[in-house]
Amino acid sequence: MTPETNRAIDAVWRIESARLIAGLARIVRDVGLAEEFAHDALVAALEQWPESGIPDNPGAWLTTIAKRRAIDFLRRTGRLERKHELVGRDLELRNDTATAELDAALDDDIGDDMLRLIFIACHPVLSRDARVALTLRLIGGLTTGEIARAFLVPEPTIAQRIVRAKRTLSEARVPFEVPRRDELAGRLASVLEVLYLIFTEGYAATAGDDWMRPALCEDALRLGRILAELVPHEPEVHGLVALMEIQASRIRARVDAAGHPILLLDQDRGRWDHLLVRRGLNALARAERQGAALGPYALQASIAACHARARMPEETDWARIAALYDALAQLLPSPVVELNRAVAIAMAFGPAAGLELVDALTEQRTLENYHRLPSVRGDLLAKLGRLDDARAEFERAASLTRNAWERKLLLERAADCGP
């Protein structure tokens, strides 16, 4: 197989796999089986397309192959006679009729199927790690190896998470449906959490030799955009999309030619992707137009928008950012939010005001191994001229981070404080 054909098949799979698995899962009522049938179609493509060429409609080709596997399975198990039928009613299995009905079932309500699949992959019955892995596998179309490399986890570990997740969904008999209105808010929060976890791991890698993993940002953003079109009246979905769009706009400016990290206030804003900025501001406007009070993601997007609207760092409206963090702390009280609020307070009202808030956080046990706490404290101490104390804080932060680039940056800041 030529590299060009391999790349083309990979691209087709990334585009079509989620829709295909979603349609199959609605029919066979089992995510694991649906993925198995979809992968059977992928294997067939890998075997046949190098010789026959990529079909004009590759998605339809994959659907036909997967559909045959589903029909064979339903024929063998007799599920056509059960109450959870292919299209909600009994069918007698005649080849022409069953094929036509299954074609219609696969092609119908694609948007609804995708929404159902997203809610299943992010179901709260699964652990957070399992939800992330299953979402990237089913909705993102990533292989087990790709997910493992992205999160610096051994491939067998990711494979086990995915297998256990599918088994858990099956044993819990999770229905293949969008939650009822009274359950939607809680379940949607789980979906948004997973998408943002994927994005943040790409935007600021927690460990390893890479400062960022842009492919993960792209996957999370693509999934967020899909979700925003599937549930257009949910303001927090638009808030999350806005936050990711604006943060993603900075990716090119976050490193220099050698891959060295560049902090926000030192970035060349001309290198920001202003198309993504506009998309983010438009998504934020969509969230605001829903009329409800802004939720945590929309508030964070509003903070990001303050940076995006400032042509130069000194034009940043830090007082507004501090006020937005006040609102966020009311909705989402956490030491990390308070730490970010302290940074905004320091920028708006001086490092001494920020340091007072940061010092109060040093008693928080949840932050004792969080490298950003000594990093922020070191920065404020340096601005106040307390260089010896600042150096110690930067060195402590460097010892806590698991990211190689971040460690290097922190040690450089410690060295700048003098011997």
Domain boundaries, the chain: 4-108
> 122 CB contacts (<8 Å, ≥6 apart)?
131, 134, 135, 187, 190, 191, 193, 194
pLDDT in tens, 188-224: 888 998 899 889 888 887 767 677 888 889 888 988 9
Strand partners of residue 403 = 208
What is residue 209's predicted lDDT score, i.e. its pLDDT?
67
Give per-residue pLDDT as tens, 51-60.
Answer: 888 898 998 8
Instruction: Please enumerate in sequence order all residues whose Cβ is within 8 A of that of 48, keeping only pairs 6 or more positions apart, or say none.
Output: none
Residue 255, beta-bridge partner list: 261
pLDDT band at 88 (very low <50, low <70, confident <90, very high): very low
Which two tokens mark 241?
């999309």
Q: Provide the pLDDT for residue 82.
A: 54
Other CB atoms closer than 10 Å to residue 49's CB: what's the count?
19
- Encode pLDDT of 69-79 as tens digits: 888 888 887 65
CA distance 157 to 182: 35
Rounded Cα distance, 269 and 411, in Å: 26
Extract the tokens encoding 310. 């400032």
- The mean pLDDT value for 269-280 works out to 96
Distance of alpha carbon 407 from alpha carbon 104, whole angstroms: 55
Beta bridge partners of 261: 255
pLDDT of residue 184: 75
Residue 299: pLDDT over 90 = yes
Alpha-carbon dihedral sign for residues 188, 193, 194, 198:
positive
Cα gap 307→317, rounded to integer Å = 8
Percent of the chain with pLDDT over 90: 50
Q: State the average pLDDT for the chain.
A: 87
How many angstroms separate the CA atoms of 46 and 10, rounded?
10
Q: Is the pLDDT of residue 102 over 70?
A: no
Cβ neighbours of 108 (radius 10 Å): 12
What is the C-alpha separation between 279 and 228, in angstroms, rounded?
13
pTM: 0.78
Q: pLDDT digit string (tens) for 215-268?
A: 889 888 988 998 998 889 999 999 999 999 999 999 999 988 887 889 999 999
Could you say which DSSP state residue 402 is in? E
Whole-number pLDDT of residue 90: 38
- Under DSSP, is residue 207 helix (H, G, I), strand (E, B) or coil? strand
**Joined tokens for residue 273:** 């992707």
Let me know how long the chain is. 419
pLDDT value of position 402? 85
CA separation for the pair 321, 68 (Å, rounded)? 56
